[in-house]
């Protein structure tokens, strides 16, 4: 079976959120949402810096064009407001695996369940539509809220890569990996209704 990755028009949605394609024009609204420097402590880029945000958006759009990443803008369906961004990336069609990441949520939406809803939509797409075998996640070992959230949706902790990634402020991150396998997904779906 040949797996076809979508063109850049993929939209995922439920009754709470819409994940629509990230586009260059999102810069203006992202700029307003990313200016809080404290958001970027666990992120690999400080998107409060305008040039960094521009490059980050350009990279996302370019990777979408190459079908190596599916970047989304997260919309709160009830208000129509942008809540952040997330992506499916590091896609290996041959190995039937993809990573969910590049996620940031604006201060207003942190702790509201938007991130969980986004991840569940993408996991469902990866397993049920693409037919992949593995979804992986990685985060900063110090990012306890992200780690708890991944465990809550049923991701299994796999291990830590020491001094793995350069973070903002020149800190070296120990990266912790998580995954969900296709054979685990049916049971997890029941525990994670959208």
Is residue 121 included in any domain, yes or no? yes
Closest CA to 18 of 64, 69, 102, 86: 86
Residue 54: closest CA among 27, 73, 74, 89: 27
pLDDT tens digits, one per residue of 65-121: 988 999 999 999 999 999 999 999 999 999 999 999 999 999 999 999 999 999 999
What whole-number distance in Å separates Cα of residue 61 and Cα of residue 114? 22
- Is 79 domain-assigned? yes
Q: Is residue 158 included in any domain, yes or no? A: no
The predicted model scores a pTM of 0.93
54 phi/psi in degrees, rounded to 5 = -60, -45
Instruction: Give the chain's residues under pLDDT 70.
Output: 1-8, 190-194
- Within a domain: 52: yes
Q: Compute the distance between CA of residue 16 and CA of residue 139 in angstroms, rounded to an integer.
A: 25
Q: Indicate whether 56 belongs to any domain.
A: yes
Sequence-ordered strand ranges (E) for the chain: 12-13, 17-21, 69-76, 82-92, 97-105, 134-140, 156-166, 172-181
Measured distance CA(20)–CA(75) in Å, rounded: 8
Residue 122 in any domain: the answer is yes
163 part of a folded domain = no
Domain range spanning residue 84?
12-133
Per-residue confidence (pLDDT) for residue 89, from 0 to 100? 96
Measured distance CA(141)–CA(162) in Å, rounded: 9
Torsion angles phi and psi, residue 119, rounded to 5: -65, -45
Domain total in the chain? 1
Please indicate, yes or no, if residue 193 is contained in any of the structural domains: no
Task: List the CATH number of the domain containing 92.
Answer: 3.40.630.30
């Amino acid at each position: 079976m040949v797996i076809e990755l979508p063109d850049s028009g993929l939209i995922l949605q439920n009754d709470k959120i819409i994940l629509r394609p990230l586009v260059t024009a999102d810069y203006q609204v992202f700029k307003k949402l990313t200016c809080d420097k404290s958001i970027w402590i666990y992120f690999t880029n400080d998107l409060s810096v305008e040039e960094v945000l521009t490059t980050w958006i350009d990279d996302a759009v370019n990777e979408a064009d190459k079908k190596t990443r599916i970047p989304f803008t997260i919309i709160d369906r009830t208000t129509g407001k942008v809540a952040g961004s997330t992506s499916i990336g590091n896609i290996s069609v041959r190995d039937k695996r993809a990573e969910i990441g590049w996620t940031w949520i604006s201060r207003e939406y942190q702790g509201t369940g938007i991130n969980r809803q986004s991840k569940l939509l993408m996991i469902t797409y990866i397993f049920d539509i693409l037919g992949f075998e593995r979804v992986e996640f990685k985060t900063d070992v110090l990012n306890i809220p992200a780690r708890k959230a991944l465990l809550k949706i049923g991701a299994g902790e796999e291990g830590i890569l020491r001094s793995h990634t350069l973070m903002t402020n020149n800190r070296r991150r120990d990266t912790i990996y998580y995954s969900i396998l296709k054979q685990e997904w049916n049971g997890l779906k029941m525990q994670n209704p959208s």
